[in-house]
């Protein structure tokens, strides 16, 4: 038996070798202090965001609404105020306050009075009202002011009919709007999680490459197994992070009764939650395989930032493509986003929120799994070509094997 055949038989099978690598990386990172701080980081920013949101909402509630200063002749001002009172229950009107007609000559003083909080000043007459203020404010109030002035200038109070309100549980327009909102939230969350967690794959590979550990692992197991093992180890760590962050977010949502306010997706929450985890795994494995290939070409950790920039831009383009595609279901753009491997998880989770059919997801997941296998094999081949052949001469490699290098490699893998 030749030494090459002996080394081939000494290597572990692909699946078992990938499991060994995944278990090694998972346990080594899970119990490290850096991973603990990594888990606490998003919770810290979530707490800051929550406190800032509460303070902003409190400030918005405590702030006075801008009011309209009515500076017309006394008779016109009284008629305007009476018409405003009649219409206030029917339409959304700005709050008003009657001021002296002579104050209309100094609009700047009225609008600059910090004690009054006037947004605009109404002067002139009921037949020819004049609205003064900032451009956006007067454009917004032009219609309500014209309505109240027309009502005030009528011979008597208008007899508005009572409109009977018949509420319905839902409508097609409301369901589509709610499903679109859920799709947007799901695609955004999937993108943020992928951006946050996928970088761990590349940094881990670069560190082991700099320490020559990756070459020892490649001597003991197939390179494809190393890539698969690292990908699934980081995916398992990502699920740990999602479980921690999701648990905290779910507790906050339950405490604030936020779940009842969230619009349900077209396929229902249980199936949608399962598909979200599956599509996150697919998106993570797809972009992670690209990051592994980039990490194999990065000689140092510092070079990772330069080489990862194209992948980051690609992620942004994929996000924009999926966000645009979900606005027009069934269009050629959406079909392209579904077929393109990197955008397929994003487009399909958006479709899950908008369409009740389940069979397209089975086809999409099968296609994404095939794309992951292809990307990992291409990345492993690129690593063997650019890194493993860039070391010492082949003769030196043979002397390394003859001195028992394979045995030492197996010891590293087992540890």
pLDDT band per the 50, 70, 90 thresholds, residue 162 = low
Q: What is the pLDDT of residues 352-365, one digit of tens each?
A: 988 888 899 999 99
90 Cβ contact partners less than 8 Å away, ≥ 6 residues apart = 160
Q: Are residues 119 and 228 in the same domain?
A: no
* Of 71, 201, 184, 179, nearest in space to 125 by CA: 71
Q: Are residues 113 and 208 in the same domain?
A: no
Q: Which pair of structure tokens corresponds to residue 285?
A: 């494995």
CA distance 220 to 44: 41
Kindly tell me if the per-residue pLDDT of 155 is higher than 60. Answer: no
Q: What is the pLDDT of residues 66-117, one digit of tens each?
A: 888 888 888 888 888 888 888 887 788 888 888 877 776 677 777 777 677 7
Look at the chain and report how many structural domains it folds into: 2
145 Cβ contact partners less than 8 Å away, ≥ 6 residues apart = 68, 122, 129, 131
Separation in Å, CA 91 to CA 134, 147, 166: 23, 10, 18
Q: Are residues 258 and 117 in the same domain?
A: no
Q: Are residues 389 and 337 in the same domain?
A: yes
Q: What is the pLDDT of residues 6-43, one digit of tens each?
A: 444 556 677 788 888 788 888 888 887 777 877 777 77
CA distance 222 to 229: 11
Position 45 in a domain: no
For 179-192, the three-class secondary structure string (H helix, E strand, C coil) is HHHHHHHHHHHHHH
Q: Compute the mean pLDDT over every residue in the chain, rounded to the nearest whole number.
A: 75
pLDDT at residue number 165: 55
* Of 136, 100, 134, 102, nearest in space to 118 by CA: 134
pLDDT band per the 50, 70, 90 thresholds, residue 278 = very high
- Residue 335 structural domain: 8-40+172-414
CA distance 275 to 288: 19
Q: Are residues 298 and 383 in the same domain?
A: yes
CA distance 81 to 88: 10
Kindly tell me if the per-residue pLDDT of 336 is higher than 90. Answer: yes
Q: What is the pLDDT of residues 281-312, one digit of tens each?
A: 999 888 888 877 776 676 666 666 677 777 77
CA distance 122 to 75: 14
Strands (E), 12-79: 67-70
pLDDT at residue number 394: 42
Position 162 in a domain: no
Read off φ and ψ for residue 29, nearest 5 degrees: -85, -35
How much is the average pLDDT of 334-351?
A: 92
Q: What is the pLDDT of residues 206-234, one digit of tens each?
A: 666 666 676 676 667 777 777 788 888 88
| pLDDT > 90 fraction of the chain, expressed in percent and rounded | 9
pLDDT at residue number 276: 92
pLDDT band per the 50, 70, 90 thresholds, residue 338 = very high
């Amino acid at each position: 038996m030749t030494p090459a055949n002996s080394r081939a038989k000494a290597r572990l099978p692909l699946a078992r070798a990938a499991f060994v690598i995944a278990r090694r990386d998972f346990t080594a990172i899970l119990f490290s202090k850096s991973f603990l701080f990594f888990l606490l980081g998003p919770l810290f920013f979530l707490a800051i965001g929550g406190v800032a949101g509460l303070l902003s909402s409190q400030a918005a509630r405590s702030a006075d609404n801008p009011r309209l200063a009515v500076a017309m002749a006394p008779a016109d001002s009284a008629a305007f105020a009476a018409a405003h009172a009649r219409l206030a229950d029917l339409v959304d009107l700005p709050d008003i306050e009657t001021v002296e007609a002579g104050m209309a000559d100094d609009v700047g003083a009225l609008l600059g009075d910090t004690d009054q909080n006037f947004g605009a000043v109404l002067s002139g007459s009921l037949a020819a009202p004049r609205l003064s203020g900032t451009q956006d404010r007067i454009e917004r109030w032009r219609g309500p002011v014209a309505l109240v002035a027309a009502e005030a200038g009528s011979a008597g109070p208008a007899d508005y009919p009572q409109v009977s309100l018949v509420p319905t549980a839902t409508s097609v327009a409301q369901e589509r709007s709610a499903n679109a909102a859920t799709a947007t939230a799901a695609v955004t969350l999937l993108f943020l999680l992928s951006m946050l967690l996928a970088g761990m794959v590349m940094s881990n590979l670069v560190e082991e490459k700099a320490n020559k550990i990756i070459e020892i692992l490649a001597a003991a197991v197939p390179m494809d197994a190393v890539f698969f093992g690292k990908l699934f180890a980081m995916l398992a760590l990502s699920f740990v992070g999602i479980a921690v962050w999701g648990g905290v977010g779910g507790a906050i949502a339950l405490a604030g009764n936020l779940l009842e306010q969230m619009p349900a997706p077209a396929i229902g929450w249980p199936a949608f939650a399962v598909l979200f985890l599956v599509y996150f795994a697919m998106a993570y494995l797809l972009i992670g395989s690209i990051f592994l290939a980039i990490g194999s070409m990065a000689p140092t950790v510092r070079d990772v930032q330069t080489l990862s920039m194209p992948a980051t831009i690609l992620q942004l383009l994929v996000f924009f493509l999926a966000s645009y595609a979900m606005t027009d279901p069934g269009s050629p753009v959406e079909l392209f986003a579904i077929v393109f491997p990197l955008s397929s998880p994003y487009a399909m989770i958006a479709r899950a929120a908008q369409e009740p059919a389940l069979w397209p997801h089975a086809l999409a997941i099968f296609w994404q799994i095939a794309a992951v296998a292809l990307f990992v094999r291409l990345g492993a081949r690129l690593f063997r070509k650019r890194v493993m052949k860039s070391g010492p001469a082949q003769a030196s490699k043979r002397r390394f094997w003859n001195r028992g290098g394979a045995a030492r490699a197996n010891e590293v893998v087992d540890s």
